[in-house]
A and B are shown apart, each in its own frame.
Chain A
């Protein structure tokens, strides 16, 4: 079981702590979600869990076979989708044949079968992200770490990933994920955490969240004083969707209304009126 003991992480000697005193245990079959505002160290936490980063303080024990999916997988690798997956499958410890068979199976499941022999550089962003997801799943890992892995996937692939995650958890694997959509796997999450400041705190599950759509010309900076619990995503059109626990929605509105930039609030949707 992956266990964090008083883990801290900072970059550079004497740099500010990104995370400090973090305790976390992920027993088999846990589906754990990490929330928190942008830039609070969610990705750092996930990299620590995946073993990519070593803790600057404390220790991490009992890492099972792990696979990781980054938020944006770069297409700048000189392989075809199959070629890359076969190499990575071998690095995960599979035989060449097993790696190839599973690569095909997972590309198929995410609707990218036709792109197996296409060089990564020629694939669309979404398809490259499917390759990154397939890379993690073909290893059948005991711990799956997903850093906004859904970003860039089309709706069907997002649903397929939801399904696969649920299956893996039912099969005894643990999954640790970050996603900007607070409803992601909401019904299945068995442990929810929030990065707040430099600590990791257990978040209340199923906290009602309010969605606020606001608009500002592209490039406008986010207003100061946003509650740290708020998450947001930008549409290409310039609309920014904020999601915030109901208790902090007034603070978010206040920050938007008193912002220096030209923010315009389109719509406020209370938890009950939310459509999927």
Chain B
């Protein structure tokens, strides 16, 4: 698995296909997070921005090998499911790395007080809280990405439309782990208490595992 992860990571890095989603994330942060903003609000925004980015990275990783190269890799890896799992994990790692950088930057820039500037927020608590929310959004986005790309959804137009619509819905629909984690941060910003989104994280892990299982299972059934 290490070799497969290394191969897919090298593919992602050398093809420079990671750049557009990274630039999107950077742009969203640049627009939405400025120095002196209430910290937990900014962390909620930064986590939300990560969801479409993670989904996009999964789509990139899942489609960056031409079919013949994918067949070669699948054979060498001892089956397409292993190869597909490596694809998903590579994208997840890339999104996680972006999210960690974004979260740390947001913590560094934000004002560690509640929205009305009355309650001081402990920085370590805010960092843990932000990383948890980022993890929830990364996993939810990765699950969405896995469901919106080969082998689950084929066809570029359909895949992109489903990806954009899905990202929007996951951020606004009550009950989605991403929306719950982001709301918790925004509410926390009012009270001055950094939330620990453990339940949404559990939900996101289950969703990501389910989407990955379906994606890996279908990888040998679609060409």
Contact = CB atoms under 8 A, between A and B. Distances in A.
Contacts of B72: 68-70, 73, 88, 132, 135-136
Contacts of B75: 50-52, 66-68, 145
A227 B76 CA distance: 37
A91 interface: yes
A113 interface: no
Interface stretch (A76-84, A170-178, A233-241, A245-253): A76-84
A51 B74 contact: yes
Nearest to A68: B75
Interface string B39-78: 0000000000000000000000000011011011111111
Chain B binding surface SS class: helix
B80 interface: yes
Contact of B7 (A56, A65, A68, A87): A87
Contacts of B65: 77
A127 to B, nearest CB: 16
Contact of A88 (B7, B79, B222): B7
Contacts of B69: 73-74, 76-77
Contacts, number: 87
Interface string A36-60: 0000000000010011111010000
Contact of B68 (A11, A51, A70, A87): A70
Give the most central of B66, B74, B76, B221: most A CB within 10 Å: B76
A139 interface: yes
Contacts of A20: none
B74 A92 contact: no
Chain B: number of interface residues, binned into ranges: 20 to 34
Nearest to A51: B79
B76 A67 contact: yes
Contacts of A67: 75-76
Give the most central of A52, A65, A73, A145: most B CB within 10 Å: A52
Chain A binding surface SS class: loop
A232 interface: no
Interface string A146-169: 000000000000000000000000
A162 to B, nearest CB: 21
A71 B67 CA distance: 11
Given A47-B223, A50-B71, A70-B71, A91 B10 contact: no
A79 B72 CA distance: 15
Interface string B1-18: 001101100110011100
A105 interface: no
Interface residues of A, number: 34
Nearest to A56: B221
Interface string A108-123: 0000000000000000
Contacts of B6: 87, 90
Nearest to B221: A54
Interface string B206-222: 00000000000000111
Interface string A1-43: 0000000000100000000000000000000000000000000
A91 B11 contact: no
Given A87-B7, A88-B7, A145-B75, A53 B68 contact: no
Interface string A163-203: 00000000000000000000000000000000000000000
A183 B15 CA distance: 41
Contacts of A73: 68-69, 72
B11 A78 contact: yes
A52 B66 CA distance: 14
A76 B73 contact: no
29 contacts: A11-B222, A11-B223, A47-B223, A50-B75, A51-B74, A51-B78, A51-B220, A52-B74, A52-B220, A53-B220, A56-B221, A66-B78, A68-B76, A73-B72, A76-B66, A77-B11, A78-B14, A79-B11, A83-B10, A87-B3, A87-B7, A88-B73, A90-B6, A91-B3, A91-B4, A91-B73, A91-B76, A132-B68, A135-B72
Given A53-B220, A70-B68, 19 more contacts: A47-B223, A50-B71, A51-B78, A65-B78, A66-B78, A67-B76, A68-B72, A68-B76, A71-B68, A77-B11, A77-B65, A77-B69, A78-B11, A78-B16, A88-B76, A90-B7, A91-B73, A91-B77, A132-B72
- Shortest Cβ-Cβ A-B pairs, 5 listed: A90-B3, A54-B220, A78-B14, A68-B75, A74-B66
